[in-house]
Amino acid sequence: MRKDHHVFLSVFLCALLVFTVYVLLDTFVIERRLETAAEPKIVSAQVDGETGAPVALPLAASPEKKAEAVITENSYYDGNISVEITEERVGDTAVYVADVRLASAEYLKTAFADNTYGRNVTDTTSGIAGSVGAILAVNGDFYGAQQSGYVIRGGVVYRSSAKKGAEDLVIYADGSFGIIREAEITAQELWESGAQDVLCFGPALVENGEISVSVNDEVGRAKASNPRTAIAVIDELHYLFVVSDGRTNESEGLSLYELASYLQSKGVQTAYNLDGGGSSTMVFNGRVVNNPTSGRSIKERSVSDIVYIG
């Protein structure tokens, strides 16, 4: 009887180990391609005759003709898109700032790795940026590392399951920013309100020009000083893309409050914290601008998605 008990226990433990390994592989390693990204759409003024919901239409091409681009190491201008990149020191931290002005909201975009929505489908920020011809890009919210949290990209709802406590950035079709709490609104309601892109990481750093984090706020169990990525809006079609280095002798990194204070000093109205740490990367015309840290090495981490200008 005792021998049978030991055999049963051994089989049970083996089965439990196999199941645990599978769950870990399925969550962090096994690539699951759930859907090819749809063509970008905007929520139009037209409504469906039966449901009354806004109709998603293909994003129209800009009526303005681009001038020949003037490009330098740190700037880009073509009449519709203007990008100026500067590097600053904030205390002991290197901060890279891209000041972006657009003629139309259609130039502010998002993209999935390999143009595919799924789990563990990743590429470097520079790799994704190159695949879509981005002028400027930063890493996004790494949606693929999460099981829940809204994913709306290009006017298409890919994931509608809410994440407890999530505070999202909404980019509307006119290029304006909004901050929402997933507990207070559904993904369908967001889409119906005109959401073009919804990014779920957070938290919001600045709302209505006021800092919205405290000195002690942090993302999960992250360290107080980290590489960071944030996007912000100053006024209509005028944005800042910000990445800070960290975790090195040359650059300590920023706390959320330090990043929020810095952005407020730049006059932003809304600012949002994207995935940071080893993911924090800025790419300009195919060149990695900052020094992304992955473990102890200076190299890019593969991510699920980017926010870009192009």
Per-residue pLDDT, 225: 81
CA dihedral 68, 72, 76, 82 (to 10 degrees): -120
Helices (H) and strands (E) in the chain, counts: 4, 27
Per-residue pLDDT, 44: 39
Given CA atoms 122, 239, 208, 252 in this order, what sign does their dihedral have?
positive
Per-residue pLDDT, 222: 56
* pTM, full prediction: 0.82
Per-residue pLDDT, 33: 53
In the chain, the amino acid numbered 32 is: R
In the chain, the amino acid numbered 45 is: A
Per-residue pLDDT, 2: 52
Residue 81: which of 285, 263, 271 has the closest Cα? 285
Per-residue pLDDT, 32: 55
Given a cut of 50, the residues of the chain with pLDDT beneath it are: 7-8, 11-12, 15-29, 41-63, 221
CA 141 centroid distance within chain: 3
Per-residue pLDDT, 144: 95
Whether residue 279 contacts residue 301, with contact meaning beta carbons closer than 8 Å, is answered with yes
